[in-house]
Structure formats: C-alpha cells, structure tokens
Structure 1
Amino acid sequence: MKKVFLKKSIIQSTLFSITISIFMITMVLMLFFGKTFWEKESVKLEYDLLTIALDVKQTIDSNLHLIPSCQDDVNILPRTQQMVKLDKVVKPLLQEKRPYSVAYYDLEFGWMVSEGKQIESVETILVDLHGASEIKVLNYDYITLVSVPVQLEKGLKGYVWAYATKSEFELGPFTGYSISFSLLFLSIGIIIILIQKFMKEIQHQLEEFSESIVHPETNLSWNSHGLPELEPVLDKIKGYTQELSAINEELGASQRRFTQIMEGISDGLFSIDREWRLLFYNDVAKKYFDKPDEELKMKNILEIFPSFSNTVTYQYIAEVFITAEPAYFEADGMMTSERIFHTSIYPFEEGITVFFRDITEQRQQQHEMARLERLNLVGQMAAGISHEIRNPLTTVKGFLQLRGIKVTDPDEKEYNDLMISEIDRANTIISEFLSLAKDNMGSTQEQDINQIIYRIFPMIQADANNGNKDLILNLNPLPSLWLNENEIRQLLLNFVRNALEVTPQGGCVIIQTYEDKNNVVLAVKDQGCGIPEEIRDKIGTPFFTTKESGTGLGIAISMGIAHRHNAELTFDTGDQGTTFKVIFKRRNVLGKKDEGELS
C-alpha cells in the first residue's frame, strides 16, 4: 500500500489527504453531535411525556369523583362490571389527541385503562414504582415512561402514565438526523469535487510549468496568470537552464575531443575503478575484448573475463592499486595467452588506466631474425666446410677405394670400408649444411601434395614395416600448390622417420592433409611420449638433438624448406604423442606463383 502512495503525485496525495481529513472530521462530528442530539431528544421526550402525563392527571383530578371506588360498589356489582364501569369513565378522559400514548392504572382495582399502544410487562413497571408517590421516569429497552401519581385524601389512588415506544421515539429524530447528515455529506461531496477541480487546475498549471522548463525550445507558452507565484521561479530556472546548456555543450565538445584523441591512439586503452568496473575503453581495447558495449560498460572485468585473474597483468594491476605507483612490463595474456603485450599502468584517484601494445609480431620478427642469423652462420660454416674439407675427403676416399681393391685381409678390408662409410657420413653432414644455407627452393611446379605423398609412400611404409609399426594415410582433396617436389620429399621423410623412431612397436604414424581457412595443412602424428617442456623452445635449433646418432639438423632443414614454400611449421605435443604441421599459406594455395619468393 505504501508503494502505491509513493507513486502518486503531490496533487493526488494532497487531494487524498483532504478527502480523508474531511471524512475523519465528519465522522468525529457525527459521533459527537449524534450523541448530543440523542441526549437532547431523550430529555425532550421525557419533558413531552411529563407534560402529557400532568395534563392527563389534571383532567383525571377534575373528574376524580366520577371514577368508581371499590368501597362505593362493594357487594353491589361484580368485578367485571366494575372494570367496565372504570373503562367507561376513564377512557373518554384519555382520548384527546396526543403524540404519545397515555394510560391510567388504578391501584384499587389493579386495572389499567390505556389510549394508544398497550404496555407490556405492567408488573415490572409496578415493581419499579413500588408505590412511589412522586413523579418518576422509567427507561426500558422498548419503552420510555413517565409516571405521575394520582392522590386521594386517604392515600394513593393510581398512576397516570405517558409513554413512547423506542420505534415511536427514534423514527422522527432519526429521519431528521439522517436528512441533516445527508445534506452534510452532500455538501462535503460538493466541497471535495470543487477542491478536486481546483487541484486539477493547479496540476494542469504545474504540468505546463514543468513542460516549459523541460522543453523550453517548444512553442508551448505557460500562462502565468494561473499561478503568478511561479513566474519568478521560471525566470530563474530559465537562466540556470541556459547556463547549464552552454556548460553541457562545452562539456560534450570536450568529451568528443577526448574520445577522438583516445580512439586515435594506436595502443589499447582502458580504465577501471577500484571495484574493477570498466569505466572507459577505446576501439583497440574493444577489439581484444570482443564483446558488445552492453556487456562491458560499468561491468566488473573479472566477471566478464574470469581467466583474467590468472594473468600477470592482473597481478600488476592489483599491486598498482596498493602502491599507487605506475608499472611497466611485458607479458603474454591480456585477454588471450596467444599474444604478447607491452603494458603500462597509471593510477589515478578513482582507479587506474592501462595502456597496452601488442608486440607479438615484433617478438616473432626478432625470433625470425635470430633464426636467420643462425642459418646464415650455418651457411657460412657450410661454405667453409664445403671448400676446406670436402675436397680433401674426396681425395682420401679415392685412395681408400684404391686400397680396398688391393687389400685381401678381411679385418683390414672391414676397417677400410668403415673409413669410407664415415667419409660418406661426413659428406652427408656437409650436404645438410648446404641445404640449411639455401635461400631459395630452386624450380617449382604446380602440383598436388597428395601425389607426392603417394609416390614416396612405398619407401616410408617399408621403414614402418621393418619396425613392426603401421603407417596410415588420411588424405583429403586439396588445391594445387607451387612446390619443389625434392624438398617436400625430404621434409616428409624427416618428419615420418622421426615419428617412427619415437612410436613404440605396434603403434602407428598418421599422415594427414586437409584444408583449414583456405590454407593447406600437412600433418604427421606419432604415438610417442611427447616432447619434454624444457626442450620445446630448442626444437629447430641446428645441432640440437636427443638422439645418440642424430645430427640435430633434420627439423632445422625442414623449417628452412617450409619457410621457402611460404609455409609455417608448428607442433602440438602431449602425453599421447606429437603432431608436426606444415601450414601452406593462402597466397600459395591460390595457385599463383609468388614472384620473388617462389622462384
């Protein structure tokens, strides 16, 4: 109920209060004046009854000699005839027209003669009078009675009673009372209607007054004649409104300039208060948030991004809130752990502002430059080895081959063959060095990589069968690529042989090709135990190997081949095995030879 009243306007509340007040006052007046009215009417009734009773007594006193007595007629008339005689004498004395009923009760005969309504319970009245010789007023639930004694010289002869029943008494006054209060309620209703009319007029004037304040630009003019007291208020408000409008326009222009400046910043920017709610963010930050405005503005950033609490950025922000000192750092994981950001945090009184710049590509370029420097170093080493070592090895191998023709001793022949095989191994390492140093892939042609896999499959299947392992092909239709078949064969051999080496007997290696977002993917999956986390960053580094007889050049060579084919080399590893993927980029998939890169 309280909520309903709170929704009412002040005009409605005032009208309601006035109505309730008038109603309550009317009820109090009705109770007060009603009680007084009935008391007055009761006194008036008693007075009227007394007047009637005295009038009747006077009449009876004047004719008392006509009223029979028991001593007069003793032993002459029977009692019944005496009662008839009493009625015959007294009744005419009572028949004068009066507003209330009258009766004469003769104590000597014990008989009542009445004119009007009969009295019930005469015995009760006689008991209450108990022979009283004075005037008495008796009030019962059903009747009000005034008793006047009739005296003889020898004693009390009887009583004259004037009486009125409750219905006789209440009907007249109640009718007048009802008419009076009906007129009163009618007057109150008219007053309330007039008040309501005036209130509505005031409400209308106030609404026009409010409209002229809220929408001063409209042509709706407020008539001040209705409420002239408000005219100076309106003039004052209009002055304030104009000042506020000018200030708001200036503030809006300032906010637009601020927003344009913030949006023009190439770095991401967002501000949060001490409750971690987003106060502001520019378009760059919104791109990383990747959510609509209604899910961001004034929302708790920890509720929007629950994983944010596990990032380094969160730890720095929490520290800045405590120390109120700026912080600068580089870390991955602003909204995604796949990107690296340079972040600056600046505190202000209500919260902090965070500037962040995505430096992922910059770090990748640095890593690529480091890789190219390593490859360049390897190339220089390979060129030197090729020139300084390969020629002497060729000479040594030639003399060993001549010597092998002449050697007849089995042990010496075995030693001679071992030296030749080691020289061949050295030549293989030198060739791999030279492969790492290549900066182009040679001749290419448009072809299906699946066909290259089919052509090399018998050879790698034989390697799998020799180790009691399975080799499974899962090849999907692909668009043609610009490829150097020899290099792709070498890349595939490197990955498959590495996969077969780590896969246990009875296991399988899967070669898979498929399209992913207009890129072609070549994947080789083994069933080994995965790559330990501590050496994952070293994968592809020349001469780094975990094999006793490995050179540490296989994956490095494969990375070079992928790079020359405008492809990206990635790997996923875990307890269930490792998958190496070569992702050929879209510009190669389109089937057009990229000048300068695929030459």
Structure 2
Amino acid sequence: MEHQVKILAVDDRYENLLALSSILASSHYEVICLQSGEEVLRYLLKEPADHIAVILMDVQMPGLSGFETVELIKQRKACQDIPIIFLTALSTSIEHVLKGYHVGSIDYLFKPVHPEMLRKKVDAFVNMHLNHQKIKAQSELLHKRTLDLEETNRKLAEADEKLKQQNVLLEQWVEERTSELVDAHEKLLKSQEHFKKMFMLSPSLMAIRRLPDLTYLEINESWKQYTGYGDEILGTKLNLLRTEQGDYVSSDEVIHNCKVKYETKSKEVRTALLSTEIIDIENESCMLQVAVDITESLRFETEMARLAQLNLVGEMAAGIAHEIRNPMTTIRGFLQLFRENDRNMQKQYIPIMLEELDRANEIITEYLSLAKNKQSHQQAENINRIIEMLLPLIQAEAVMSGKHVHYEFAPCPDIQLDDKEMRQLILNMCMNGLEAMHVGGKLHLQTYQEQDHVVLLIGDEGTGIDEHHLEKLGRPFFTTKDEGTGLGLAICYSIAARHHASIEVQTSSSGTTFYIRFPLPNSPE
C-alpha cells in the first residue's frame, strides 16, 4: 500500500522549524516538525521507519543533543538505514563535523542553509527512498511469486497424476449427479427466493436472530416501519420484546401468539402477538421471531367499547331526562312554597329534600352532556381567551389546596369551539389534575400550534394513572375517586368528540399529561 513520504525536521527553535517547513513545502512528502530528541525517539517508536526519507537534525538542543539522539536512533535496527543530515549554526569545527559522520549522519550543513541546496538534497533523498521502496516491494513480490510458483508446480504435478486416475470415475459420477444437482439447486433457489419475499414483504414484524446471544442477523421492512430501527440494529443484541409481566422474551423459549410489549425508537410502547421458532441457517442455530402488531386493533376495540357505552348512556339520558325533569320542577316549586309557609317543615326536612333534588338534577344534567344528539353551538373562538377567563378560578382553587398553576400560552389561531362546553372541559380536567396531586404540586397549562392542530396541554405532578386503568379512561361511571359519579372525564371525551378533537394521555409515576388536539379549519380531521 502506498504511503506519503515523511521528512523529520528536528530543532528546539520554533522559528527554525517554520523556516524549514516553508523551504521544504511540497506535495510529494510531509514535513514533520519536532522540537527535541525525546520527541524524535517517541515518534520513531510509533511510526514505521520505512515511511521516513531523511531526518534533518539540529546539533545543539536542550536535553538530548543531536549527536546523542542520532546514536540512540542508530541502535534501533529498523532505523539504522534512515539518512540523517545535521544542521548547526554553532558547531562548525572539524571535530564536530567528524563526530556527526561518526555517529551515523551522511551530511553536515551549517546555518543559514541555502534553501535551494537544501531542497535539492532532500528531493534527492526522497527519490532514493521511493526507488528503494519500489525495489524492495518488487523484490518481495518477486520472491513471493517464485515461491508460490514452485509450490503450485509441485502441487500440479501431484494433482495431475491423481486426476488422470480419477478422471474416468469423475466423469461418470458427474453425469449421474449433474441432473440431480441442477434440480436440487433450482428448488433451493426457488425456496430461498420464496422465503426472502415472504420475509421481506410480510406485514408482520419479522426478525432472524443468532442463538444463543440473540444477535440480529436480518429484519424485514415491517420491523423497520413499526419499531423505527433500521439496519443499524443488525449485529446488536438490543431486545425490544417484553412479556406483559415486564420480562424479556427468553432466547430458548418457543412460543405461539404470546401477547408482548415492545418499545419503538421514538419511545412509544406498542402491543403485539409474538410467535417464535428455532431454525437452522447455514448450519447455524437461529431464532425466527414473528410479531403481529395489534396496537391499533386494541385501541379500536377500546374506543368501540367506550363509544358503545357512551351511545347507550346518551340514548338513555335523552329518553328519560324530559320525563324526570318536569316532575322535579313541580316538586321543587311546591317545596319552596312550603318553606315559605311552614317553618317547622323547613327546619327539619325541606333543606334535605332540596339538596337531594339538586343532586339528582346535576346527575341528569351530566347525563344530557353525554347525549349523542346534544346540540353544540360552535363558533370561531380563541382557546387562549377562554383559558385566561377561567385562570383566576383555577388559581384560586389551587391556592386553597396548597398547589400551584404554571401556564404558557403561545399565539394560536381561532378555531370552532362551543364556549360553554370548552369551559366545562377545561375546568373538569384542571380540577381532576389538582385533586391528583399532593400539597406543593404544580398544574401545567399550555397551548401551542402543531401542524394542522391547536394543542391544549393539561399536566399534573401526581402519582400517575395505573396502566390497567388507562384503557378505561373516558368510560361513564369509571372513577378512582372515593366520591364522584365517574361522568366528568366521560363528558370531556364527549365534548372533544363533538369538536372532532382527540385526547392523548401520557402518564408515569411523576405525573399525567393530557394532550387535546383540535383541528384547524379546512384541515383533515
């Protein structure tokens, strides 16, 4: 392999090295500047000596002198043939010159050195070095080829005799086996092609991993698309698959349709049905992993269950609300009348009756909020304005419970909103967040625009929501509170649905964050 020729310039004065570099600047070689004998010795220990064409060595240097350095260089067998030229401005006596030749130099120049003469001397040594390297390489190559040729001739002579003896038998065997091999080869190629197409084009996530260390050998396009990991995962042992109990899938475990979780490159946790099988590839034991992603199916089933329950509650609420509210209004009127005329009844019974009727009326109102055919009066509104109007109320509630509210509103375009429903949604979710935190917790409110959506973020610093409860969020009557009807969050989901908005939940032990995304006008829902 060709390498760039190097010239070592050694001088303890930086200005002298700079001058030498300027004089010897050339594209045919590289000038390495060193400032002491010790640096030269260290450099020669690290770099191959046959890369160096000549060393320009200053005689007078602190530490090791030029003479001492050259003596040490010449003691190393690999460096004995490197030409060395001494440069000095002080030691001009014949004794020093003879000493320079004695220790191993081939020339002794006095400063100031004539630039053209120095260049020509260096160029001559570089050319000699290159010619020497070429001759050496050609000699080594010729010697190797001679040995190879002799060995080849010997083997050919031995093989020729054997081939003559086996030629007849081989021809017969070839004729008998050729047809079989051709057929088998064609079948193998077709089988490999079919497997490759099925593997690469399968909608299931498929990976081939070496046993027992589970190193990735191959992954298909579906694996890349779903997990976000591309060819960079090949050759690694990254295990993405966990059972529902949180354990990694065992390397020697053969399973079929086992429900597992896997984390994508973007940290999204998805669900899949995993099947594994141990296979042999080129006499190597491997595991074939086939996973069918069911994340969207599970979400669809959960959403369908929630919508079915919402639809049932809405139909029930719409059907019974009118029949119940009318007699309630009549009874409340009579009770108010009794309260004005009968002091004894007022003190004992009427306040309790009125309180219970108010509660029943509140529940019926919440039922109506879930009704599928509930009218929503939407118009162009700015969500920041609505939140700013509610902010004093939210802050007051937070102060009363020893908590804090942090808000950050970015400029957002107007979107189609029902003012009353949005107030109800924001208050419900903020109150839920405040109730989920201990004293000192901080409620986060934020708005911003994200592509074709306006996003409302409501986050708390509570203990988070249990994973088993996540899929039940938004279902009527589901609540983790000691008191409550379980309709508040269901109403929020219903309001979001009427506004064609989506609600995304992110939760951990450090808190829960809700992202409500409202589509901009004229954007795809």
Query: What TM-score does the superposition give when structure 1 sets the normalisation length?
Result: 0.51
Query: Do 1:329 and 1:344's aligned partners in 2 also have CA atoms closer than 8 Å?
Result: yes
Find the residue that maps to 1:385 and give its secondary structure: helix
How far is the alpha carbon of 1:480 from its aligned partner? 3.4
Q: CA RMSD in A?
A: 4.4
How far is the alpha carbon of 1:429 from its aligned partner? 0.7
Q: Could you list the per-position Cα deviations for residues 364-395 of structure 1 after superposition, in whole angstroms to 9, with x for gaps in the alignment?
A: 11111111121122223323431442222122
Q: Give the aligned partner of residue 281 of structure 1.
A: 219
Q: Supply the distance in 1 between the matched residues of 2:402 and 2:230 (Cα, whole angstroms).
A: 56
Q: Supply the distance in 2 between the matched residues of 1:230 and 1:575 (Cα, whole angstroms).
A: 77
Q: Give the aligned partner of residue 265 of structure 1.
A: 202
Find the residue that maps to 2:326 and give its secondary structure: helix
Change (3 A) 1:493 1:348: same
Question: Is 1:341–2:272 an aligned residue pair?
Answer: yes
Task: From 300, 323, 329, give the equivalent of 1:394.
Answer: 329
Find the residue that maps to 1:272 and give its secondary structure: strand
How far is the alpha carbon of 1:232 from its aligned partner? 12
Change (3 A) 1:552 1:569: same
Q: Give the aligned partner of residue 478 of structure 1.
A: 412
Q: Could you list the per-position Cα deviations for residues 88-111 of structure 1 after superposition, in whole angstroms to 9, with x for gaps in the alignment?
A: xxxxxxxxxxxxxxxxxxxxxxxx
Q: Supply the distance in 2 between the matched residues of 1:310 and 1:538 (Cα, whole angstroms).
A: 21
How far is the alpha carbon of 1:550 from its aligned partner? 2.1
Paired amino acid for 2:388: Y
Structure 1 stretches lacking a partner, 5+ long: 1-195, 211-226, 321-325
Paired amino acid for 2:408: N
Q: Supply the distance in 1 between the matched residues of 2:326 and 2:163 (Cα, whole angstroms).
A: 111
Q: Give the aligned partner of residue 357 of structure 1.
A: 292
Query: Do 2:241 and 2:263's aligned partners in 1 also have CA atoms closer than 8 Å?
Result: yes
Change (3 A) 1:571 1:414: farther
Change (3 A) 1:515 1:446: same
Change (3 A) 1:277 1:248: farther
Query: Do 2:380 and 2:414's aligned partners in 1 also have CA atoms closer than 8 Å?
Result: yes
Query: Do 1:329 and 1:342's aligned partners in 2 also have CA atoms closer than 8 Å?
Result: yes
Compare the two structures and name the one with the higher helix fraction: 1
Query: Do 2:444 and 2:459's aligned partners in 1 also have CA atoms closer than 8 Å?
Result: yes
Q: Give the aligned partner of residue 516 of structure 2.
A: 583
Q: Give the aligned partner of residue 434 of structure 1.
A: 368
Find the residue that maps to 1:304 and give its secondary structure: coil
Paired amino acid for 2:522: K
Query: Do 2:239 and 2:248's aligned partners in 1 also have CA atoms closer than 8 Å?
Result: no
Paired amino acid for 1:331: V
Q: Supply the distance in 2 between the matched residues of 1:202 and 1:504 (Cα, whole angstroms).
A: 83
How far is the alpha carbon of 1:359 from its aligned partner? 0.9
Query: Do 1:441 and 1:487's aligned partners in 2 also have CA atoms closer than 8 Å?
Result: no
How far is the alpha carbon of 1:228 from its aligned partner? 13
How do residues 319-338 of structure 1 correspond to structure 2 at under 5 angstroms? Answer: 319-320=253-254, 327-333=256-262, 338=269
Change (3 A) 1:306 1:593: closer
Aligned length in residues: 366
Which sits farther off after the overlay, 527-536 or 395-404?
A: 527-536
Q: Supply the distance in 2 between the matched residues of 1:393 and 1:256 (Cα, whole angstroms).
A: 76
Query: Do 2:384 and 2:409's aligned partners in 1 also have CA atoms closer than 8 Å?
Result: yes
Find the residue that maps to 2:376 and give its secondary structure: coil
Task: From 364, 375, 380, give the equivalent of 2:315.
Answer: 380
Change (3 A) 1:333 1:547: closer
Q: Supply the distance in 2 between the matched residues of 1:414 and 1:465 (Cα, whole angstroms).
A: 36
Which sits farther off after the overlay, 277-286 or 242-251?
A: 242-251
Change (3 A) 1:525 1:441: farther
Query: Do 1:452 and 1:485's aligned partners in 2 also have CA atoms closer than 8 Å?
Result: yes
Q: Could you list the per-position Cα deviations for residues 510-550 of structure 1 after superposition, in whole angstroms to 9, with x for gaps in the alignment?
A: 32223456543322233445446665554433223344542
Q: Could you list the per-position Cα deviations for residues 40-78 of structure 1 after superposition, in whole angstroms to 9, with x for gaps in the alignment?
A: xxxxxxxxxxxxxxxxxxxxxxxxxxxxxxxxxxxxxxx
Q: Supply the distance in 1 between the matched residues of 2:486 and 2:148 (Cα, whole angstroms).
A: 96
Query: Do 1:567 and 1:582's aligned partners in 2 also have CA atoms closer than 8 Å?
Result: no
How do residues 512-591 of structure 1 correspond to structure 2 at under 5 angstroms? Answer: 512-516=446-450, 519-531=453-465, 535=469, 538-574=472-508, 576=510, 578-584=511-517, 588-589=519-520, 591=521
Q: Give the aligned partner of residue 301 of structure 2.
A: 366
Question: Is 1:592–2:522 an aligned residue pair?
Answer: yes
Structure 2 stretches lacking a partner, 5+ long: 1-141
Q: Supply the distance in 2 between the matched residues of 1:447 and 1:532 (Cα, whole angstroms).
A: 35
How far is the alpha carbon of 1:351 from its aligned partner? 3.5
How do residues 23-62 of structure 1 correspond to structure 2 at under 5 angstroms? Answer: none
Query: Do 1:471 and 1:510's aligned partners in 2 also have CA atoms closer than 8 Å?
Result: yes
Paired amino acid for 2:237: I
Question: Is 1:255–2:180 an aligned residue pair?
Answer: no
How do residues 399-438 of structure 1 correspond to structure 2 at under 5 angstroms? Answer: 399-409=334-344, 412-413=346-347, 415-438=349-372
Change (3 A) 1:548 1:314: closer
Find the residue that maps to 2:421 and give its secondary structure: helix
Which sits farther off after the overlay, 490-499 or 336-345?
A: 336-345
Query: Do 2:200 and 2:220's aligned partners in 1 also have CA atoms closer than 8 Å?
Result: yes
Q: Give the aligned partner of residue 56 of structure 1.
A: none
Q: Could you list the per-position Cα deviations for residues 2-25 of structure 1 after superposition, in whole angstroms to 9, with x for gaps in the alignment?
A: xxxxxxxxxxxxxxxxxxxxxxxx
Change (3 A) 1:347 1:506: closer
How far is the alpha carbon of 1:562 from its aligned partner? 2.0
Change (3 A) 1:396 1:580: farther
How far is the alpha carbon of 1:341 from its aligned partner? 0.8
Query: What TM-score does the superposition give when structure 2 sets the normalisation length?
Result: 0.57
Identity %: 35
Query: Do 2:272 and 2:294's aligned partners in 1 also have CA atoms closer than 8 Å?
Result: yes
Find the residue that maps to 2:372 and give its secondary structure: coil
Change (3 A) 1:287 1:233: farther
Query: Do 2:241 and 2:249's aligned partners in 1 also have CA atoms closer than 8 Å?
Result: no
Paired amino acid for 2:296: E
How do residues 83-482 of structure 1 correspond to structure 2 at under 5 angstroms? Answer: 203=149, 252=189, 254-275=191-212, 276-288=214-226, 290-293=228-231, 295-296=233-234, 299=235, 303-306=236-239, 308=241, 314-315=248-249, 318-320=252-254, 327-333=256-262, 338-349=269-280, 350-409=285-344, 412-413=346-347, 415-438=349-372, 442-467=376-401, 469-482=403-416
Change (3 A) 1:487 1:319: same
Q: Give the aligned partner of residue 496 of structure 1.
A: 430
Q: Supply the distance in 1 between the matched residues of 2:401 and 2:232 (Cα, whole angstroms).
A: 60
Q: Supply the distance in 2 between the matched residues of 1:440 and 1:496 (Cα, whole angstroms).
A: 24
